[in-house]
Chain A
Amino acid sequence: MSIILETRDLAKSFGAVTAAANINVTIHEGEIVGVIGSNGAGKTTFINMVTGYLKPSQGSILFRGKEMVGLSPRQVTREGICRSFQVAQLFPELSVLENMLIACSMLGGNLFNPFSPLKTKANLQAAQAALDDYLIGEYAHAPVSTLPQGVRKLLDIAMAMVGRPSLLLLDEPTSGVAIEEKFGLMDTVIKAVINSGAASLFVEHDMEIVSRYATRVIAFYDGHIIADAHTTEALNHPQVREYIIGSELHREQAEGVRYAAN
């Protein structure tokens, strides 16, 4: 399969902090890659660099052979890379349907037609259908600020998918979502991604979810990639077990205690 994204020697430092160094990642068309790593390992920084939100200190990002470094997020979006956010980035005072309508009009490129209404019957139907695809159609008329995290995360992803990206970057799609809803959410999202034919990279802390949905895993540790391999192989990698899975277990236990205490 052909390569869709290739980063070479990507690095980013914030003052004395090295958030990323030596990042060489290759992603193929239609591939689904899991990204793991403890907090502060540089996962979000990587996504921010690929989507033009952060300018790398060095290195290059080739998307279908074209250099992405120096492009703004909106230009990267137009090239076909879309993303979701660790904390869902929505229009909180507007309804779910309006959020989707705006996403459709902006990504669909009919923004600069000042005299056709946003809420035409056709637009409303298309937006409703897009929501239904992600099983959040029932919330269409609720203001986003009243929604539970799981719905916000789905809306965030659904809005990104409107751009029909060929690469979708998901930053912790299940964080903040209740445990019993995580698999349902991932089922919905991954199904939509596979149907669209896009390649996808998702950041995830839960190893069960990683092994269920990813065919390949990239492990970040302290700004570096310490493993990049087939899922089972990567999850059994000694350093991954020691530095990442070990600490995730600690985290889960700590959370478990907290939940029990509540």
Chain B
Amino acid sequence: MGSDRTPIFLCAALLLLLVVGLFIPNWLVFLFTISMAKGLVVLGLILLMRTGLVSFGQGLYYCLGGYIVGISGQHWGITDVALVFLLVVLAATLLSSILGLLLCRYREIFFAMLTMAFSMILYGILVKSEKLGSTDGFIIAQATLFGWQPEVEASGTWIFALAVIITLVALLVMHLYFRSPMGFGGEAIRENEIRVEYLGVSPRRLIYIKYVVAAVLAAFGGAITAVAAGHVDPEMAFWATSGEFVFIALLGGTLHVAAPLVGAFLIEIIRTIALDLAPYTWQMILGGSLLLIIFFLPKGLWSLLPKRREEEGL
């Protein structure tokens, strides 16, 4: 097997990012923060994709996470990040463990469409909610940490630091998870559910657990986005948002835990540059690059790297 160097690599890379974050312009810090937020959502998505399921509705939890942050601050007066994030996890766990009961019975296109339907229901509700700002959404109260209120100018940096820490923990946990029997259980389900059943294991139960984990990751992503952007709106639950997560997942591939992060960062960069150069055609540029990836790199950008033996199991 050789020793597993991925955790060290992940720690080093993210610590480096943290240091770099101190010296780069604010817009780039923000871009990194959003990439990590989206990377977390996509990390959950590839957990499902390795199980053979594509969710077109991770926007549901992304939006839920964002709105919980917003509502906690504006309506409940809770601005402490630790507490707010705890609420986010609880809300995502609660909602996904209810919806999961239904979704774990569906596969393929039916699963994809149902996940999308649920996120569009949330979108519809939010658009109709005058109190929550309808289609405009609303501004989020400034976050605090254990009673400490960072200065407004520095807030981008400390939210970035928070995102790095959450991302690092999530990547490490998911890395361990993907190597575990339960992680491989996902691939087993994708390959042959009948065999899994005859190995004494319920595919539905495994899918249920994976769905809940993916939801929590997506909610974290939404919460970070909300804190960083200082604003939420129903667009977070719109199908195009979920579609972008699928796009990032395809771009990065499922071969490495860090792939979603790299994919998300690339998308953000392409978007930023393309928006500048070609404000009306950047979606075409994104679409074109996706086509190229599907044709030439079906396993994502990661497959460009030379493959080390025995590493394919993550």
Nearest Cβ on chain A to B140's Cβ, whole angstroms? 33
Specify the main secondary structure of chain B where it touches its partner: helix
Q: Which residues of A contact B197 (CB under 8 A)?
A: 72-74, 77
Taking a contact as CB atoms under 8 Å apart, the answer to whether B313 and A119 are in contact is yes
Which of B99-107, B174-182, B234-242 lines the interface with chain A?
B174-182
A89-B194, A91-B191, A94-B191 given as contacts; is B200 within 8 A of A115 (CB)? Answer: no
Rounded to whole angstroms, the CA-CA distance of A115 and B1 in the bound complex is 17
Question: Which A-chain residue is minimally distant from B179 (CB atoms)?
Answer: A117
Q: Judge whether A103 is part of the interface by a CB distance below 8 angstroms.
A: yes
Taking a contact as CB atoms under 8 Å apart, the answer to whether B194 and A118 are in contact is no
Q: For chain B, residues 20 to 72, give those with C-beta under 8 angstroms from any C-beta of chain A.
A: none
Taking a contact as CB atoms under 8 Å apart, the answer to whether A116 and B180 are in contact is yes
Question: Which A-chain residue is minimally distant from B174 (CB atoms)?
Answer: A114
Taking a contact as CB atoms under 8 Å apart, the answer to whether A112 and B313 are in contact is no
Taking a contact as CB atoms under 8 Å apart, the answer to whether A90 and B192 are in contact is yes
Q: Which residues of B contact A60 (CB under 8 A)?
A: none
Total number of B residues with any Cβ neighbor in A under 8 Å: 25
Taking a contact as CB atoms under 8 Å apart, the answer to whether B1 and A73 are in contact is no
Q: Judge whether A124 is part of the interface by a CB distance below 8 angstroms.
A: yes
The 0/1 profile, CB within 8 Å of B marked 1, for residues 121-158 of chain A is 10010000000000000000000000000000000000
Q: Judge whether B221 is part of the interface by a CB distance below 8 angstroms.
A: no
A77 in complex: contacting residue of B183, B185, B200, B313, CB < 8 Å: B200
Taking a contact as CB atoms under 8 Å apart, the answer to whether A115 and B180 are in contact is yes
Taking a contact as CB atoms under 8 Å apart, the answer to whether B182 and A114 are in contact is yes
A74-B200, A74-B202 given as contacts; is B195 within 8 A of A90 (CB)? Answer: yes
Specify the main secondary structure of chain A where it touches its partner: loop
Rounded to whole angstroms, the CA-CA distance of A118 and B197 in the bound complex is 19
A118 in complex: contacting residue of B4, B179, B191, B202, CB < 8 Å: B179
Nearest Cβ on chain B to A165's Cβ, whole angstroms? 11
Total number of A residues with any Cβ neighbor in B under 8 Å: 37
Taking a contact as CB atoms under 8 Å apart, the answer to whether A106 and B201 are in contact is yes
A111 in complex: contacting residue of B176, B177, B182, CB < 8 Å: B182
Q: For chain A, residues 45 to 100, give those with C-beta under 8 angstroms from any C-beta of chain B.
A: 51, 72-74, 77-78, 82-83, 89-94, 98
Taking a contact as CB atoms under 8 Å apart, the answer to whether B201 and A74 are in contact is yes
B181 in complex: contacting residue of A94, A118, A160, CB < 8 Å: A118
Question: Which A-chain residue is minimally distant from B191 (CB atoms)?
Answer: A91
B180 in complex: contacting residue of A72, A93, A114, A159, CB < 8 Å: A114
Taking a contact as CB atoms under 8 Å apart, the answer to whether A73 and B198 are in contact is yes
A90-B192, A102-B185, A121-B1 given as contacts; is B200 within 8 A of A113 (CB)? Answer: no
Q: Judge whether B184 is part of the interface by a CB distance below 8 angstroms.
A: yes
Q: For chain B, residues 173 to 230, give those with C-beta under 8 angstroms from any C-beta of chain A.
A: 176-177, 179-185, 187-188, 191-192, 194-202
Q: Which residues of A contact B177 (CB under 8 A)?
A: 114-115
The 0/1 profile, CB within 8 Å of A marked 1, for residues 72-86 of chain B is 000000000000000
Taking a contact as CB atoms under 8 Å apart, the answer to whether A89 and B180 are in contact is no
Q: Which residues of A contact B202 (CB under 8 A)?
A: 72, 74
A114-B176, A118-B184, A119-B1 given as contacts; is B192 within 8 A of A77 (CB)? Answer: no
Rounded to whole angstroms, the CA-CA distance of A85 and B296 in the bound complex is 37
Nearest Cβ on chain A to B93's Cβ, whole angstroms? 16
Q: Which residues of A contact B191 (CB under 8 A)?
A: 90-94
Taking a contact as CB atoms under 8 Å apart, the answer to whether B199 and A117 are in contact is no
Q: Which 9 A-B pairs have the closest CB atoms?
A: A105-B181, A91-B191, A106-B199, A77-B200, A89-B195, A117-B179, A106-B201, A118-B181, A73-B197
Please report B residues at the A interface, Cβ cutoff 8 Å. Answer: 1, 4, 176-177, 179-185, 187-188, 191-192, 194-202, 313
